[in-house]
Structure 1
Amino acid sequence: MEIFGSLQALGVEGGTFLMFAMLLLLLVTGIPLAFVTLLVALIFAVGWFGPMAVPLITSRVYSFVSSFVFVSVPMFVLMAAILDRSGIARDLFDAMKLVGGRLRGGVAIQTIIVAVVLAAMSGIIGGEIVLLGLIALPQMLRLGYDRRLAIGVVCAGGALGTMVPPSIVLIIYGLTANVSIGALFTASFLPGLMLAGFYVAYVLIRAYLNPSVAPIMEADTTPTSEKIKLLKGLILPILVVIGVLGSIYGGIASVTEASAVGVLGVTLSTIIRGEFTLSLMKGAALQTLQTVGMIVWIGIGASALVGVFNLMGGINFISQLITGISDSPLVILLFMMLILFVLGMFLDWVGIALLAMPVFVPIIVDLGYDPVWFGVLFCMNMQVSFLSPPFGPAAFYLKSVAPPDISLGEIFRSLLPFICLQILALAVLIAFPGITGR
């Protein structure tokens, strides 16, 4: 029995160092984050407290997966999966041609607007980038757009699902930080549009300073009857967005209920469009199982690890370390943003939210900051992580559907101006918290 509790001899400092070293070592071997966190949690639970501590892990895990709001996650993923398989996104993009018109950089701006609408429909990131990579990127390249501008617009626009409600990142943050998800949605709406506005402004400035990077589209010869038909492509997506966000903001439905409304809306849209098939629904269901399974397993592992770390006194130790770096709340906040930025270069956002937020949110509250506002900052920070090398998932999503001559290195280089815009947006939110309405 001496081995049980032997880790305790290391003390909180030594135990924390050993835990993080084990996490890094196991992650480098290629084992998925979910299983790494679960394994380390089990080793430390038994090694620090003895075998009787194992039930503590199961109770911690149960409280995470039994949350009613968590039901909205598979619903929004299912919405995105159905969208992936329908022609709604393609028709939406075609309809937006009428808005872009003869504006220089119009197709890039049209892509960003479509990205915002798709984000407001489902809140999923990967599917959006793949959709835009298949629909928008070939058109921009065909029209002679600068390759890097076209690549950056698709990746950065597709990643807006992190910020624009109903964002799954906000839902997971709300569950972890124990704050109202409805309040998070309300607070993130304007910042999400602000970031999209930064992208549009960047495209326009680049296009008008150097007209060769974004040629004007050829004259529109589409007959009026075809234009009316194209405009019909806007109706169903807008109705779904109104159904989801309107029911939440109008106080008619909770986030979970609104997610069910969204699934019903997207399914009815495919029926009206004559695209509904059993194979479409089966494919969407399997994709949902795969995505949500990953989120649940990361949640289980991270919940267990944070629970054990908390019992060890590790969260208090880390809190004291962070708050000890300065007497200024702003400096501590910026230090947290830096930690999140570095973590985002190597870890999945789900893991970051579930591992870091139980430590960061209590500190934020003690410093007198609003946890809802901090949630919006966290999501904006995760925007950067989606684009930043070496593991920025947006680049890999686009690479999977991009022309073979576009390398991963070129994609990452194309994203640098958009990463700068995201950091600018984060700085604006820190400087002017009133943008979130908090």
Structure 2
Amino acid sequence: MRKEVWFGLSIMAMVVVGVFVLMPPPSEMTNGHLGLLMLALVVVAIMLGFPTAFTLMGMGVFFAWLAYSSRNPQEAVGLTLDLMVQRAYAVMSNDVLISIPLFVFMGYLVERANLIDRLFRSLHLAMARVPGSLAVATIVTCAIFATATGIVGAVVTLMGLLAFPAMLKAGYNVRLSAGTITAGGCLGILIPPSVLLIVYGATAGVSVVKLYAGAFFPGIMLATLYLGYVVLMAKLRPDYAPPLAEEDRKVPLPQWATATGQSGSRNAVAGLLGALRGSHNGVSTQTLLGQLGITLLPAIAFALVMGVSYRAVTTVEKQDMTGVVQMGEGMDSGQEAGGADLAEPPAEDGLAEPPASGDLAEPPSDDKKAEATAIPAPAAPADKAPAEKTDINPPQEEAETRPAPLSYWITFGAGLASMLVFYAIFSFTRLEIFKMLLGSFFPLAILIMAVLGAIVFGLATPTEAAAMGSLGGLLLAAAYKRLNFAVLKESVFLTAKTSAMVCWLFVGSSIFSAAFALLGGQEVINSWVLSLDMTPVQFMILAQVIIFLLGWPLEWTEIIVIFMPIFIPLLAHFDVDPLFFGLLVALNLQTAFLSPPVAMAAFYLKGVSPPHVTLNQIFLGMLPFMAIQVLALILLYLFPAIGMWLPELLYN
């Protein structure tokens, strides 16, 4: 029997033995103990291979019947059936779940648009001089593609077909190559639009919009740590990731580029400008102008970004004074400037200042007394209209401006220097690589930024943005001539299959959670945790360790739908933000796809890898990336602003 099978059986044996040791005798067993027994039995049943959703439903219905039978045996069956219907209806009426099939449909369409092959090829050529360039290009491709799809199995499988043979052919270490593909493919669990975040948001009652905003930078941090590890390994162990051969770096140039480069400079801008001024060498002016326009696209984009930024940082918004009028405006024309109605009212007997007493002040004369009782207002000039009005805030045609801050000019100077360096080394070869990126990277980047930007900045709900992303996926597939009836049919079928799995999981987890609450299992766990008298830090460490260990035998779906309803009621007692807890859980659950024996990413890769690559080699390649995930989890906990600053900036 294989080692992983023994490992799984040993975990199940530990669970069963623990249940028998910790549970009281049947005569002393309460409903709360039955709830804990149900929890243990569900874990064992899932590890034995039973379908998760129907296992949750079956266990939930049976133990709910036991809970109702202990109170009212005559109505137990009816109440149990009512619970099933009510829970199923409550789940299916959740609007947040509509975004799941739309995001999944977008992912399958992007996958079938054949963009990943072009993306990997262009990125690996663009990063040819970086140590471990193939592995670096693999992680970047996985991060971009995982952001566009959010489907771990699809990313790992496709990169296993494209990048794994290329890295093995280039002499890369098998474990490093396998760990790079599996870890990069699992980034879709964390980076939005992630189905996991939608499921957690629906389970915990947390805004999916805030979860997307919070998970963006932790995902980038994790991908950056992966890249740093790969580059470091390539530097320390060149035999693990040897540099690419010269023939692998060559990019075939079109005829016009060869002709233009022979007659002038090899620099793309100088060569194109020189060809336009002098001899074309058989290249048409239209071709030269078109290529020059493509060459200048980065400079044009830089100018547009800095121009918009300059206007944003120098414009002073005027306060809206609509409705604020000058005092006295709106009176009838009889109340003139010199009229009696505008004069200061005479002091009443009880409101007048008392006269100074004793020898401290001279007694006022009769004339001064008269001045004190009535102060005449100055008469209005005769040549002016009596009811002339003035506006204290006349409308201005343009808003006032202020000088740009120093940070803007520093950014502008750094960007300008980067542009100059970029164009100084921008050869015709790099122009061809840039055009390859235009055809693969930028369409995906625009789609991703449109979807996530609409969600994060409040322009659309997650469901509306998912619908927009599905339309973008259709347009991409059509633009690359991959949209046909067979592709559309397969995408719809896979979307329906995945969505049905997620929805049935929600129904099963809802019934299971209701039965667990009826039996009092939640109260037992709450009492036990509170009796430990832990600090919030100790509780967070305990929760994350439990989730990390659960990721070994279970997948993230089971952990979210079964165990999150147990942890979430405890967060308020320890003053833990459910949003921050969700970010930690999402980062922690990366291990669910990278930890044996149920590391699904390893099995996805093994299914498409050459026969000489063993499952143990793939598992060993995953271990360093699991350590990086633990490091990222610690960094996020020590510096919560990594994940929380963007939601607080946008929504507080």
Tell whether the structures are fold-level matches, with TM greater than 0.5. yes
Q: 1:124 aligns with which of 140, 151, 158?
A: 151
Cα 1:8–1:316, aligned 2, differ >3 Å: closer, same or farther? farther
Greater Cα offset, 77-86 or 426-435: 77-86
Gap runs ≥5 in structure 1: 1-6
Q: Which residue of 2 aligns with 1:200?
A: 227
Cα 1:324–1:333, aligned 2, differ >3 Å: closer, same or farther? farther
Q: Which residue of 1 aligns with 2:79?
A: 53
Q: Which residue of 2 aligns with 1:20?
A: 39
Amino acid at match of 2:600: P
Q: Which residue of 1 aligns with 2:466?
A: 259
The answer to whether 1:161 aligns with 2:188 is yes
Q: 1:338 aligns with which of 542, 545, 564?
A: 545
Q: Which has the higher helix share?
A: 1
1:286 positional shift: 1.2
- For 2:494 and 2:90, the matched residues in 1 are separated by 25
Query: In the TM superposition, what are the counterparts of 1:205-244 in structure 2 within 5 Å?
Result: 205-219=232-246, 220-222=249-251, 223=253, 224=429, 226-231=432-437, 232-244=439-451
Amino acid at match of 1:418: F
- For 2:619 and 2:478, the matched residues in 1 are separated by 39
1:29 positional shift: 4.0
Greater Cα offset, 203-212 or 428-437: 428-437
1:228 positional shift: 4.5
The answer to whether 1:89 aligns with 2:116 is yes
Cα 1:8–1:193, aligned 2, differ >3 Å: closer, same or farther? farther
1:226 positional shift: 4.0
Q: Which residue of 2 aligns with 1:296?
A: 503
Greater Cα offset, 163-172 or 52-61: 52-61
Higher RCO (C-alpha under 8 Å, 6+ residues apart): 2
Q: Which residue of 1 aligns with 2:596?
A: 389
Amino acid at match of 2:485: L
1:97 positional shift: 2.4
Equivalent pair of 2:136/2:227 in contact (CA under 8 Å): yes
Q: Which residue of 1 aligns with 2:523?
A: 316
Equivalent pair of 2:36/2:521 in contact (CA under 8 Å): no
1:433 positional shift: 1.2
Q: 1:366 aligns with which of 562, 573, 596?
A: 573
Query: In the TM superposition, what are the counterparts of 1:70-89 in structure 2 within 5 Å?
Result: 70-89=97-116
> 3-state DSSP class of the match of 1:366?
coil
- For 2:584 and 2:462, the matched residues in 1 are separated by 21
Instruction: Give a deviation string over 1:5-29, Cα, whole Å, max 9, x none.
Output: xx99831332123213432443354
Q: Which residue of 2 aligns with 1:413?
A: 620
> 3-state DSSP class of the match of 2:572?
helix
1:30 positional shift: 2.5
Q: 1:181 aligns with which of 196, 204, 208?
A: 208
Structure possessing the higher radius of gyration over alpha carbons:
2
1:207 positional shift: 0.7
Equivalent pair of 1:12/1:317 in contact (CA under 8 Å): no
Q: Which residue of 1 aligns with 2:331?
A: none
- For 2:453 and 2:44, the matched residues in 1 are separated by 46
- For 1:29 and 1:197, the matched residues in 2 are separated by 37
The answer to whether 1:41 aligns with 2:60 is yes
Q: Which residue of 2 aligns with 1:139?
A: 166
- For 1:170 and 1:226, the matched residues in 2 are separated by 38
Q: Which residue of 2 aligns with 1:3?
A: none
1:247 positional shift: 1.1
Amino acid at match of 2:79: A
Instruction: Give a deviation string over 1:308-344, Cα, whole Å, max 9, x none.
Output: 1112222122122223334211111111111111221
Equivalent pair of 1:345/1:389 in contact (CA under 8 Å): yes
Amino acid at match of 1:85: R
TM-score (norm 2): 0.64
Instruction: Give a deviation string over 1:288-318, Cα, whole Å, max 9, x none.
Output: 1222222122211111000111122221221
Equivalent pair of 1:157/1:196 in contact (CA under 8 Å): yes
Cα 1:21–1:162, aligned 2, differ >3 Å: closer, same or farther? closer
Equivalent pair of 1:75/1:259 in contact (CA under 8 Å): yes
Equivalent pair of 2:157/2:604 in contact (CA under 8 Å): yes
How many residues are paired up? Answer: 432
1:371 positional shift: 0.7
Equivalent pair of 1:325/1:332 in contact (CA under 8 Å): no
Amino acid at match of 2:90: S
Amino acid at match of 1:221: K
Cα 1:90–1:12, aligned 2, differ >3 Å: closer, same or farther? same
1:196 positional shift: 0.5
1:348 positional shift: 2.1
1:67 positional shift: 1.0
Cα 1:178–1:411, aligned 2, differ >3 Å: closer, same or farther? same
Equivalent pair of 2:33/2:521 in contact (CA under 8 Å): no
Instruction: Give a deviation string over 1:180-200, Cα, whole Å, max 9, x none.
Output: 111011111111010001101
Equivalent pair of 1:57/1:307 in contact (CA under 8 Å): no
- For 2:531 and 2:93, the matched residues in 1 are separated by 36
Equivalent pair of 2:103/2:469 in contact (CA under 8 Å): yes
Instruction: Give a deviation string over 1:143-185, Cα, whole Å, max 9, x none.
Output: 1111111110000000000111111111100000001111011
Cα 1:401–1:8, aligned 2, differ >3 Å: closer, same or farther? farther
Greater Cα offset, 204-213 or 45-54: 45-54
1:85 positional shift: 2.2
Amino acid at match of 1:46: W
Cα 1:44–1:89, aligned 2, differ >3 Å: closer, same or farther? same
- For 1:398 and 1:79, the matched residues in 2 are separated by 23
Equivalent pair of 2:602/2:615 in contact (CA under 8 Å): yes
- For 2:504 and 2:562, the matched residues in 1 are separated by 13
Equivalent pair of 1:26/1:36 in contact (CA under 8 Å): yes
Give the root-mean-square deviation of aligned CA atoms. 1.7
Equivalent pair of 1:299/1:351 in contact (CA under 8 Å): no
- For 1:258 and 1:164, the matched residues in 2 are separated by 16
Percent same amino acid among aligned pairs? 35
- For 2:154 and 2:112, the matched residues in 1 are separated by 10
> 3-state DSSP class of the match of 1:355?
helix
Instruction: Give a deviation string over 1:206-236, Cα, whole Å, max 9, x none.
Output: 1111111111122332134743541222221
Cα 1:153–1:28, aligned 2, differ >3 Å: closer, same or farther? closer
Q: Which residue of 1 aligns with 2:452?
A: 245
